[in-house]
Amino acid sequence: MSLTYENPILPGFYPDPCIVRVDDTFYLITSSFQFFPGLPIHKSKDLINWELVGNAINRPSQLSLQHATTKANNLERREIFTGGIYAPTMRFHNGTFYIVCTNLTGSTSMAPEVDFEPNTNFLITCDDLTDPTAYSDPMPFDFYGIDPDLFFDDDGKVYMTGSFIHGYRKKPQTVIRQAEIDLTTGKLVTEARDVWTGTGGNCPEGPHIYKKDGWYYLMIAEGGTHRRHMVTIARSKAATGPFEGYEKNPLITGAPGSPITCVGHADLVEDATGNWWAVMLARRELGERGDSYPLGRETYMVPVDWPEGGFPVFEPVKLRHELAAERGVIGAKQRVSGVDEQVQLSSPQTIYIRDPLLRNYSSEEGAITLHLTETPLGAVGGSPTFVGRRQTFLVSTASAQVDLASAAKTGHAGLAVYKDPFRYASANLDLAAGVVSFNLRHATQEHVVVNSKELKGATVIKLSIQSTVETYIFSYSALIGKRWSPEVELSSIPCSDMSGDDFTGTVFGIYGSGSDGVVRFDSFTIRSD
């Protein structure tokens, strides 16, 4: 008898996974970049069905994303990089969850050669991941780099290991650096020292340390987070090294000809039956030309064989894995499709851009009211009035119904698929002109407004975005009197317009901008098909 599961195990914009098991429950934390709340945490009993239970950054007072900006590294190559909350590590020790992470900052006019600054590495503690108030305020610690890891040794010492930044246009760009840390003060109690340079790939990063069979294993990512990404490992008899690389590195990378690319940034976990698993980020490159991957980097999983005294052996990553029944905890995927799921402000899945003014958002009986501000959807700074949810299915439909009768008389509102200030598309309402149009901005296309349609006599308008593997289709229908007009397609774009070598994934969202007034969305739903 065999079991099967499908990758990604956590679809949508959930990159840089870190996993921990507490008794019979797994917890997984991922990056969030410019979106608030940050550091989403899922839990699962079977590694397949995951529930979002909270966000480690859930109060604007905890941390500012004001400088979580986006820079165009190379628009022709569709290289668009974003700051904010990068790769976290979460570990559980003596009843407490410890989360370490980095907030990278930039300016709204960053040149390609300028790096984001790791201005804050921080520690958050929590004893109940389901309680938003249980997450501590971040405690900063001194480390000029990203991807911090925590390792609790048997002698009571705790080591912080991270990717120290020399500069992304220098050689070497980064190095794996380590120091002992005092978790009560956030102070590094030993001098930070280099412990491994990796196997020669660019940007050694994403370190995690494990102790097994008397060995300390240091697993990292190399090659950059896109197509040269890979997982490598070294080991030592001491937590501080020296570490010797595995002669059969890499443990895993993207396979030639596979639609699964960018494989890397892995973490290991042992289940209650003694089997090992690795979670990692990867990207699905789909469509006839393989240029459709708007969801970006997602969370994947592979079985791992870790023999006593040896190095872990990863199975190749696949979209569909078959397992022997004795692999243990894997369960059947529970899917809900064809149902319109209402987006709610109270849900931990709901996200905003950078530092939201939460007083500008209210809800009643399923409707969401946006209080307009002058920050437009495509602003490179500030926080547009925007309520979103990650796109987690390639084939899906987002819909929003706008009450025109009560809306502000000037300004804009609409339904968008959004990635960053350089890439978004929307069905947009010009409230003053009384028209609906298609708005587009992507890597090689400056902002354009096309195909405007008058809404004479309409009191309500329904906006829709239908996504397929290769296309986003934007449409609308209007309530005039007591009758709905036929649905009209405004435009469509290839998913490649929202794809690129980037860090984030697509988000469906409603938005509004203007000098004053409100816009009421009677409904905002997302359906997976």
What is the C-alpha separation between 92 and 184, in angstroms, rounded? 15
Distance of CA 323 to the CA centre of its chain: 28
Virtual torsion, Cα 502, 297, 160, 151, nearest 10 deg:
-170
Question: What is the rounded average pLDDT for all residues in the chain?
Answer: 96
pLDDT band at 399 (very low <50, low <70, confident <90, very high): very high
Quick check: helix, strand or coil at residue 436? strand
From the candidates 149, 205, 285, 298, give the one annotated as an active-site residue.
Answer: 205
User: Residue ranges of the domains in the chain?
Assistant: 3-323, 339-528
d(CA 398, CA 273): 41
Q: Which of 198, 192, 151 is nearest to 174 (CA)?
A: 198
The residues with which 68 forms a beta bridge, in sequence order, are none
**pLDDT at position 62 over 90:** yes
**Amino acid 323: pLDDT:** 87
Amino acid residing at 259: P
Q: Over the stretch 444-472, which tens digit does the pLDDT of each residue have?
A: 889 999 999 999 999 999 999 999 999 99
Asked whether the CA dihedral 291, 292, 296, 301 is positive or negative, the reply is: negative
322: its two tokens: 């078959």
**Residue 330 — pLDDT band, cuts 50, 70, 90?**
confident
For residue 188, count CB atoms less than 10 angstroms from its CB and return exposed for 0-12, middle for 13-18, buried for 19 or more: middle
Specify whether 308 is catalytic: no
State pLDDT tens for residues 176-204. 999 999 999 999 999 999 999 999 999 99
Are residues 418 and 401 in contact, defined by beta-carbon separation less than 8 angstroms?
no
Paired strand residues for 525? 342, 399
Query: What pLDDT digit, counting tens, does each position of 470-480 carry?
Result: 999 999 999 99
Query: Do residues 55 and 9 lie in contact, with contact meaning Cβ atoms separated by under 8 Å?
Result: no
Distance CA 14, CA 269 (A): 18
Q: Could you tell me the pLDDT band of residue 2, with boundaries at 50, 70 and 90?
A: low
Q: Is 3-323 a domain of CATH 2.115.10.20?
A: yes
Cβ atoms of 423 and 441 closer than 8 Å: yes
Q: Looking at residue 33, what DSSP letter applies?
A: B
Which residue would you say has higher pLDDT here, 57 or 325?
Answer: 57
**pLDDT grade for 340, boundaries at 50, 70 and 90:** confident
Q: How many other C-beta atoms are found inside a 10 Å radius of the C-beta of residue 23?
A: 7
Give the separation between CA 170 and CA 157, rounded to whole angstroms. Answer: 33
Given a cut of 60, is residue 1 above it in pLDDT? no
Catalytic residue of the set 16, 149, 298, 420: 16
State residue 321's pLDDT score: 92
Taking the C-alpha atoms of residue 8 and residue 300, their distance in angstroms, rounded to an integer, is 4
Residue 337 has pLDDT above 90, yes or no: no
Give residue 166's pLDDT: 96
**How confident is the model at residue 328, as a pLDDT?**
67
Amino acid at 191: E
Q: Is the dihedral of CA 140, 141, 143, 149 positive or negative?
A: negative
Q: What is the DSSP annotation of 352-411? A: EESS--GGGEEEETTEEEEEP-S--TT-SSS--EEEEEE---SSEEEEEEEESTTS-SSS
- Dihedral sign (CA 483, 486, 491, 492): positive
Q: Spell out the residues 6+ positions from residue 158 whose beta carbon is closer than 8 angstroms to its own.
A: 150, 151, 152, 180, 181, 182, 183
d(CA 134, CA 192): 31
pLDDT band at 212 (very low <50, low <70, confident <90, very high): very high
Would you call 326 a catalytic residue per the annotation? no
**E strands in 143-229:** 145-152, 158-165, 174-182, 187-188, 193-196, 205-212, 215-222
- The number of residues making up the chain comes to 529
CB contact at 8 A, 184 and 265: no
pLDDT value of position 76 = 87
pLDDT of residue 230: 98
For the domain made up of 339-528, give the CATH fold. Jelly Rolls (2.60.120)
Give the SS3 label for residue 133: helix
Which is it for the CA torsion 314, 318, 322, 327, positive or negative?
A: positive
